[in-house]
Chain A
Amino acid sequence: MRVYASLIRLRAMLLLQYRAAAFAGMVTQFSFGIVRVMLFEGFYASSTAPQPMPFPYVVSYIWLCQALIGLLPWGGDGEIQELVLSGNVAYELCRPVSLFGLWYSRCIALRTVPTAMRAVPLITVAVWLLPPLYRLALPGSPAAALAFVVSIGGAVLLSAAISNLYNVFLMWTVSGEGLVRLLPPFVTLFSGALIPVSFFPDWLQPLLRFLPFSGVIDLPLRFYIGDLPAAAWLGHLAYQLAWVAVLVVTGRWLVSRGMRRIVVQGG
């Protein structure tokens, strides 16, 4: 375990260097957040049908979503792709640590550090500096906050497990580009990052809540805004961890298959 902890710590140290990227990301997410909040405001004002959640809930959902957008499994670790392309992956293979474990810990760092660097300032602004109507509300109760934190933990493990699959597929296609372009639209839509899952048609919601993607964004956010009772945390954590288990087992199996076909090119 200690290996993985120091791997994550070291990756985190590296990622903390990217301050400009964090600032740019924050500004972008903030602008998009305003647009999305306004969109929903117009939508609520013009519709007379009952909505799945009250407007302040949606506002909080959007701000949190903008802050935590980096948590989504957008793609794998660019550095691993670089390692595979350059052949330096040879060194990763010479280490007495499972390749899957090495890469999984990298993904955990990749999903948490840049996200935290954007989230902390963005949340600060959204909670205190916006007009009351557009503000990110604080969690309704300590229990809700706790359930949110726990489910964020599950979301990190889950998102890193999905991200790691991109890395693992590098063993089949050298550049890994294909999957990295194919998956994000689905991930964005299915996780609730574009529209909260509760706004999807009733017949589609069970499927989205079953797939792992909603466990990354929609689930923790619903705990935060109080759309889910905090008492239900255990069952939902189990759902996240079950997916983690499935993805990890699949990933490990793929790695062991991939190892057989590895050709490290170059002298």
Chain B
Amino acid sequence: MPQILVDGLTKTFRVARRRAGFAAALRGVVSREYTEHKALDGVCFTIEPGELVGYIGPNGAGKSTTIKILSGIMVPDGGQCVVMDRVPWRERLQHVARIGVVFGQRCQLMWDLPAADSFDLLRDIYRIPAGVYRRNLDELVDRLALAGLLEIPVRQLSLGQRMRCEIAASLLHAPPLLFLDEPTIGLDAVSKLAVRDFVRQIHREHGVTVILTTHDMDDIEALCQRVILIGRGRILVDGTLADLRRQVTLERRLIIEGLPAASVELDLLGARLAPDNGHRTCIYFDPAQIAPTDLLARITERYQIRDFWVEDQPIEETIARLYAQCGL
């Protein structure tokens, strides 16, 4: 039995709709028009213990709805969902005791109190034995560099500091399953890296299953072996990041420093010049048709270059193209 089994999950929201303007508002007094929005339209996937899965999709694709159902907050209209042998919404209390959730856009710590007070309350809520609590807390303080932050009222913490406290709060009871819903939203580079490192650590060392939703594709690239792409309430792709790339394009790019693109002429099979990029030249090439070493040799034969590197298509672009391919 997989740790998470989702089969044919559906959820429909009724959205009130009316045109702009006073007349339409008046009409709305008498009769309202509703349209049905299918947030989830037959979602299926399974997740095994110890996986670290990126759950991605454009805004409104159904990511958060899925997370809410998996964490027992929301009841779906149809379909099956079993998480650690329980149906989340049917045995909500037993279920939530064994999961951790971070909603990046929400706050679980009490605004006016130091985080330490919120933590102590969580200790009692999750009935964590004193020794275990001490140990978990010490580890989290150490790993997330929280020393000195827990005594400050939460409202006075920076977003990065607060998010680290939020993540710690969700892991005090050492759950085997962690949902991270946009944990890096709005964070600066340093905090993002700290959060990523931490997620990687707890995943590796404690075998925590992590489901991560994010719009930051660098998060996905840095962390996830497996990516599930949802769009318009359906699963569109489920596989490794490499699978996902392959589905979009196999092209890589050669970037040459110190050579203005305007001065380059290129007529090689499987390589093409990117639009003018100023002082550097960017060449898209398909490694199946031309090896990078050959390509580079042909360039250096003809031109003087200062520096170069070869890279995959940036993940952001890959995903954007994938969304376009899927008609999102």
Q: Which of B43-51, B110-118, B157-165, B299-307 participates in binding chain A? A: B110-118
Q: Which of B94, B101, B110, B112 contacts A94 (CB 8 A)?
A: B101
Within 8 A of A (CB), among B57-75: 59, 63-64, 68, 71-75
A93 to B92, CA, bound (A): 9
**Residue interface bits A73-107, CB-to-B below 8 A is 1, else 0:** 00000000000001110110111111000000000
Asked whether B107 is an interface residue with its Cβ less than 8 Å from the other chain, the reply is: yes
Number of interface residues of A (CB under 8 A): 27
Q: Does A181 contact B (CB under 8 A)?
A: no
Interface size class of B (residues with CB under 8 A): 35 or more
Q: Is the CB of A267 within 8 A of B59?
A: yes
Interchain CA distance A91-B72 in the complex, whole Å: 11
B71 (CB) vs chain A CBs: closest residue? A94
| Pair B106/A96 contact, Cβ less than 8 Å | no
- Candidates A3, A94, A259; contact of B124 at CB < 8 Å: A3
B13 proximal to A (CB < 8 A) = yes
Q: B185 to chain A: closest CB distance in Å?
A: 9
B binding-site residues for A, Cβ under 8 Å? 13, 59, 63-64, 68, 71-75, 89, 92-94, 96-97, 99, 101, 103, 105-108, 110, 112-113, 117, 120-121, 124-127, 181-182
User: B residues within 8 A CB of A94?
Assistant: 71-73, 96, 99, 101
Of all chain B residues, the one with the shortest Cβ separation from A99 is: B92
Q: Smallest CB-CB separation from B181: which chain A residue?
A: A267
Structural contact, B93 and A88, CB atoms closer than 8 A: no
Binds B, one of A10-18, A29-37, A199-207, A216-224: A10-18
Q: Which residues of A contact B121 (CB under 8 A)?
A: 6-7, 10
By the criterion CB–CB under 8 Å, are A13 and B117 in contact? yes
- A6 and B108 form a contact (CB under 8 A): no
Residue numbers in A under 8 Å from B125 (CB-CB): 3, 95-97
List the A side residues contacting B68 at CB < 8 Å: 90, 264
User: Please, which residue of chain B has its CB at the minimum distance from the CB of A91?
Assistant: B108
- Chain B residues near A13: list those with CB within 8 A: 113, 117
* CA of A83 to CA of B127, assembled, Å: 24
**Contact in complex: B106, A88 (CB < 8 Å):** yes
**A262 CB–B CB distance under 8 Å:** yes
CA A95 to CA B99, docked complex, whole Å: 9
Contact among B73, B106, B107 for A262, CB-based, below 8 A: B73
Q: Which of A5, A93, A260, A267 contacts B182 (CB under 8 A)?
A: A267
A263 touches B13 (CB 8 A): yes
